[in-house]
A and B are shown apart, each in its own frame.
Chain A
Amino acid sequence: MINSLFLINPSGEMFLEKHWKSVVSRSVCDYFLEAKEKALEPEDVPPVIHTPHHYLISIYRDKLFFLSVIQTEVPPLFVIEFLHRVAEMIQDYFGECSETVVKDHMVMVYELLEEMLDNGFPLATESNVLKEMIRPPTILRSVVNTLTGTSNVGDTLLTGQLSTIPWRRAGVRYTNNEAYFDVVEEIDAILDQSGTTVFAEIQGVVEACVKLSGMPDLTLSFMNPRLLDDVSFHPCVRYKLWESERVLSFIPPDGNFTLMTYHVNAQNLVAIPVYVKQSISFFECGSDGRLDVTVGPKQTMGKTVEGVMVTVHLPKTILSINLTATQGSYTYDNGTKLLVWDIGKLNPQKLPNLRGSLSLQAGAPKPEENPSLNIDLKIQQLAISGLKVNRLDMFGEKYKPFKGVKYITKAGKFQVRT
């Protein structure tokens, strides 16, 4: 099982270590640092590293490396999943996951890590349970604690830990009972030069914010559940009912959680909301090139496309650029060669265009690679797959909750090749 955890910042400094079994010398991280040196980007460090006596499994998240040390055969996915939970826990408790925050709350992070694993076995990883045991810091609570001498560690046995619904604590009370669901869809797509879709799929997620008293039992149904053939659920969802009736029936955790993620990759179902006309060319001789990019709406189902942004990694040999945008503004970082064009709302009457000249470093050859364009966009009140929530019913409690559903479509990894 998981032996130790090290938190390492991008410059290679270890700022927290936690051991759940015997102590492993921090020199073991040298193997990792070596691999990190070799990698071009921090993202490129291989997640599983073999050393003579240990395995190092790491993730890179929020500009931090979470590095775990294991000694025996352990499912690596289990370790990676756990590391992501640690990152989420820090985010959840302290509002952000960063080196500063961890250092500010060193003892609490340490206590939390101790609660999350026992001898390397996961003990309590549900945020609800953890929060009952170790209360998140608030200024008010600290003041109260200091005055009354009470601690921020719970000392009752947690009901959630042992019931068959470990994700929900008992005795939840709200004056306003409300349940909101966000259907968020991200389009992952690769378009080729001519604009043909090489590959497209939708990653959907239903995020919930449920603040309901007692033990509500909810049933969420969709107008068109047939769209969803590849789903994964929060443990609270009753799988049998989904199999037989295609409804989501569950006792929700308290607060924010991800109810379900789904995946639509039938090509015909994935609408591509924008098209991009682009040309980036370099002249055979001389040291110049031209860039011309136009973005326009395509299949938008009558909605407005907002927050459009085009990002291009220009070739390393570019010396400078001189462009004009008809809408929005562009920034260019000559160090990273990153061109970002922030367009904003897409107006179908007047298509935004960015064009101008690129100049290469003197004597540099014509760049070999073709830079890809990364597109960012947002469409409010639309789930591009067409998924629609039909109704939400509540059983088990008497009160009438407020209910709401919101839809949003975003670009995920949306790339246009040139």
Chain B
Amino acid sequence: MEWANQLCENRQFGSKMTDSKYFTTTKKGEIFELKAELNSDKKEKKKEAVKKVIASMTVGKDVSALFPDVVNCMQTDNLELKKLVYLYLMNYAKSQPDMAIMAVNTFVKDCEDANPLIRALAVRTMGCIRVDKITEYLCEPLRKCLKDEDPYVRKTAAVCVAKLHDINAQLVEDQGFLDTLKDLISDSNPMVVANAVAALSEIAESHPNSNLLDLNPQSINKLLTALNECTEWGQIFILDCLANYTPRDDRESQSICERVTPRLSHANSAVVLSAVKVLMKFMEMLPKDLDYYSTLLKKLAPPLVTLLSAEPELQYVALRNINLIVQKRPEILKHEMKVFFVKYNDPIYVKLEKLDIMIRLASQANIAQVLAELKEYATEVDVDFVRKAVRAIGRCAIKVEQSAERCVSTLLDLIQTKVNYVVQEAIVVIKDIFRKYPNKYESVIATLCENLDSLDEPEARAAMIWIVGEYAERIDNADELLESFLEGFHDESTQVQLQLLTAIVKLFLKKPTETQELVQQVLSLATQDSDNPDLRDRGYIYWRLLSTDPVAAKEVVLAEKPLISEETDLIEPTLLEELICHIGTLASVYHKPPSAFVEGSRGVMHKRLPARTGSGESTESPDVGTAAGGSAPEAAPSIIPSQGDLLGDLLNLDMAPPTTSGPPPPTTGMQMGGMDLLGGGLDSLLGGDIGGSPAMGAGFGAAPAVMPASLNAPVGGGLGDLFDLGGVGMPMGAYIPPKIVWLPAMKAKGLEISGTFARRAGVIQMELILTNKAMSVMTDFAIQFNRNSFGLAPAGPLQVLTPLGPNQTIEVSLPLSTVGPVMKMDPLNNLQVAVKNNIDVFYFSCQYPISMLFVEDGKMERQVFLATWKDIPNDNESQFQIKDCHLNSDAASSKLQGSNIFTIAKRTVEGQDMLYMSIKLSNGIWVLAELRVQAGNPNYTISLKCRAPEVSQCVFQCYEAVLKN
């Protein structure tokens, strides 16, 4: 202890009365000296000696050898000496358990002392001695102290129960201390209540399922009373405890909110944030049209703003929480943008958080201000911050469409600065802007290309390559640019390699004549010379596609990409709801549910926001009760897919969020006749003999990772076959409408056709009955469909092999595929059919139930469902009534399942069952539904949400048909 020696020297200079004098005895024999002093008769000398011992202890010196001598000093009426001895005991009892027993008698005696301060001190210290033998003796004194007449002793004893529980949980339960502790919640003294709550909360954390804090309106009332009178720390414990309560109705919720609101003006920021948590949670239950609701919203803003003028560490925690609050209720802080402006001497961790919130608050109204700020930040010194600021400009462009042009020009200005990392970030975000607003800002490509050489970060290189590939037709020397990257192909990172592969394939499809050599080169680099399975697989897929059917390849690779979503980096809604319940905790700082990381808590309960009572609006939250047990995802899905997201990027078709990474969808169509993919026909374009490559089989075996659900139909069928998915699940009892006459005999020279549609084993069938009502024999039947909304087409010839004699009837079933040409029909499910026979060609039109197109893998994951439901704008929602249906919800659900309408979750609110369902159409359109069934009421209500709202009417008709048959 060098400094201790120094201090000793200092001491020589003056009569400074400081503790440093206790550090003089660092020489050998010190222990011996101390021992003598501890056993001295003089009180004062004893005390000084104990102080010396403590001083040595605090700096980590081992003075445990003095244990018996120090314990001997314990029997004293000098409070200071007693306290010092206790300090020593707490530190060393564990290492000397046998000796510690010596102290027990004194403790037990002190617990009976007339002075409550001594009683409290004894029970407090005893709890800190983590020795099993001592805890046995602790029980009786503790029991007395819990019922002590003095509240100071009671409140100390309450904490002691938590200590004891930490040492020996079983003992605490056996001795019934938990019940005594629960009784203390009703204590007359607010400080005792607060400590009891704190102790119970801590114990409850290790017993997630015990009902320790059993809150009811009476105990809530007591807590609220204590809240006004206890210390600031007690208020934190009580507020955190209140947040776990679920009020019975909105009235109770409002009254709690009213009593908690004054805490928002507390000087202690932890009290403020805990109060915010309670209010954010209970607000959920208040009807939005209530005056009080808007009053409350207004009251929440000022305290949150005030937190930002506190110390930077407090600001940081506040900002992390505000980030959540802004996502949940943007209206609270929408006018407070300026308080998030960054000051140049803010610590970096505060700067980055502020920036994030600025983007979340950005809107058309304030975008000019925000952009001016961001541009300012982009010239700061701190590299990380500058990068994030540049990215933020891109996020603004994507979020606020009106500002896109301004953002792009700002980014161009920044590129002109030629500051290397600024340029690279700018290019990465411009790529995203292109994805959001295709064909709008391509004029800037030339400027981007000028900076090609300065890019050295993989993400920026990949972004630039993507841009070149995507707009190859507008860049004269695209091939040269890409070729220049190809030279060092194997030195590039995977994301650049993948992007380069895709870009060159795109280029080839756009300018096939000049780039054959280039594409060959990249394909062979990717497939033959690479160890990376992702790269190899992608290479093979392209290769196979190009060699088999260049037209299909074009449709896949150059398919129109879904636009990227407006909101970026949002936290997934269920997780957000859970985190709102954890405002002010570590979970809120890490934006992860507590179950994901808190070590001490085993199996934490997932908290949920309370549902609004009697909610009449179904738009609010399709709260699919994932309550306990449902594990929320680890991290929020970021919606702008990162370049590293290999699966999503497969085939260069980033899926619209959120993605399901389930198994690939089973094929919906029939076997495609002429598309023998694994056979020959590879020579059409390249002449490369791909079948000969031994890696081939393995490559394909590994490849079926994710097939984008939204692939357009023609290729969907083909690729599905490619990956040979095996059997398709057997549906049970799909609804088949009765056959009706489509073509009366009088209109078709004696040929009558009636029929219906069915879906069997995943295959759509058109079931026809042909009747010859004419006098002559009919032969040479053939059938053709006009273009239709879902690309239905006969998958084979009409199998009428024998001639159809007069008055003869034949039943034929015609398998259909969904890969035919598409044209939107009105009504949507209209199908125009031409049938030919030896007499003439006849035309008729029929309508198929859209349920034929519901595919077997239409069961969405809950999380995805929730996110999608929120993501689809409310305008796309339509509501229908199904009258006179007498099924209960379970029967309805299983009936619908037969027609591939999948129930994902069920929730019962006040006798009303809400079923959440998903449907997927053969062309990849998802329909989400909420079906409400009230027991005893034959009228169902159904709400449908779909990105293509036109289908809703048809889907509704299916529901009606399925449920009523």
Contacts and interface: CB of A to CB of B under 8 A. Distances in A.
Interface centre among A26, A74, A369 (most CB of B within 10 A): A74
Given A110-B87, A413-B345, A263 B584 contact: no
Contacts of B795: none
Given A78-B233, A239-B265, A368-B379, A190 B316 contact: no
Contact of A122 (B7, B15, B130, B231): B231
The secondary structure that dominates the B interface is: helix
Contacts of A55: 586
A122 B195 CA distance: 9
Contacts of B589: 48, 76
B339 A73 contact: no
A21 interface: yes
B233 A121 contact: yes
Contacts of A161: 152, 191
Given A47-B316, A106-B58, A234 B267 contact: yes
A230 B308 CA distance: 13
Contacts of A242: 265
B713 to A, nearest CB: 48
A312 to B, nearest CB: 11
A157 B152 contact: yes
A71 B586 contact: no
Interface centre among A76, A122, A153, A415 (most CB of B within 10 A): A76
Contact of A119 (B4, B87, B163): B163
Interface in A116-158: 118-119, 121-122, 125-126, 137, 139, 142-143, 146, 149, 151-158
Contact of B22 (A58, A81, A107): A107
Contacts of B3: 15, 103
Contact of B598 (A72, A137, A239): A72
B379 A232 contact: no
Contacts of A44: 347-349
A265 interface: yes
A232 B202 contact: no
A108 B268 CA distance: 26
Contacts of B604: 73
Nearest to B265: A232
Nearest to A82: B233
A286 B571 CA distance: 50
Interface in B21-62: 22, 43-44, 47, 51, 54-55, 58-60
Contacts of B306: 230, 232, 261, 263
Contacts of A139: 15, 17
B586 A142 contact: no
A103 B152 contact: no
A150 to B, nearest CB: 9
A221 to B, nearest CB: 17
Contact of B343 (A40, A122, A413): A413
Interface string B382-399: 100000000000000000
B666 interface: no
B189 A258 contact: no
A80 B311 contact: yes
Nearest to A111: B83
Interface string B583-594: 011110110001
Contacts of A137: 17-18
B602 to A, nearest CB: 11
A229 B79 CA distance: 48
A103 B270 contact: no
B20 interface: yes
Contacts of B376: 192, 417
Nearest to A164: B229
A138 to B, nearest CB: 9
A34 interface: no
Nearest to B6: A103
Given A15-B3, A71-B600, A81-B314, A198 B349 contact: no
Interface string B53-90: 01100111000000000000000001111011001000
B77 to A, nearest CB: 9
Given A55-B586, A233-B266, A258-B267, A77 B166 contact: no
B19 A374 contact: no
Interface string B261-281: 010011111101110000000
Contact of A162 (B191, B202, B584): B191
Contacts of B195: 121
Contacts of A1: 198, 202
B883 interface: no
Interface string A232-254: 11110001101100000000000
A119 B165 CA distance: 12
A229 B299 CA distance: 10
A75 interface: yes
A319 interface: no
A22 B130 contact: yes
What bracket does the count of chain A residues touching chain B fall in? 35 or more
B313 interface: yes
B270 A75 contact: yes
A47 B317 contact: yes
A372 interface: yes
A84 interface: yes
Given A47-B317, A77-B317, A84 B311 contact: yes
Contacts of A126: 231
Given A47-B313, A114-B87, A142-B17, A74 B302 contact: no
Contacts of A26: 60
B826 to A, nearest CB: 56
Interface string B413-442: 000010100000000000000000000000
B305 A265 contact: yes
Nearest to A46: B349
B115 A103 contact: no
A251 B372 CA distance: 48
A59 interface: yes
A85 B268 CA distance: 11
Contacts of A21: 163, 166
A53 B585 CA distance: 17
A55 to B, nearest CB: 6
A350 interface: no
Contacts of A151: 47, 78-81
A154 B556 CA distance: 83
Q: Which 9 pairs of residues, A with B, have the shortest CB-CB distance?
A: A230-B302, A153-B80, A151-B80, A77-B270, A104-B18, A47-B313, A155-B79, A72-B600, A122-B233
13 contacts: A1-B198, A47-B317, A71-B600, A75-B270, A77-B269, A105-B18, A121-B195, A161-B191, A164-B229, A198-B372, A201-B309, A230-B306, A263-B309
Interface of B: 3-4, 7, 15-20, 22, 43-44, 47, 51, 54-55, 58-60, 78-81, 83-84, 87, 91, 115-117, 124, 127-128, 130, 150-152, 156, 159-160, 162-163, 166, 189-191, 195, 198-199, 202, 205, 229, 231-233, 236, 240, 262, 265-270, 272-274, 302-303, 305-306, 309, 311-314, 316-318, 338-339, 341, 343-345, 347-349, 372-373, 376, 379-382, 417, 419, 584-587, 589-590, 594, 597-601, 604
Interface of A: 1, 15-18, 20-23, 26, 39-41, 43-44, 46-48, 50, 53, 55, 57-61, 71-78, 80-81, 84, 103-108, 110-111, 114, 118-119, 121-122, 125-126, 137, 139, 142-143, 146, 149, 151-158, 161-162, 164, 166, 188, 190, 192, 198-199, 201, 203, 229-235, 239-240, 242-243, 258, 261, 263, 265, 368-370, 372, 374, 413, 415, 417
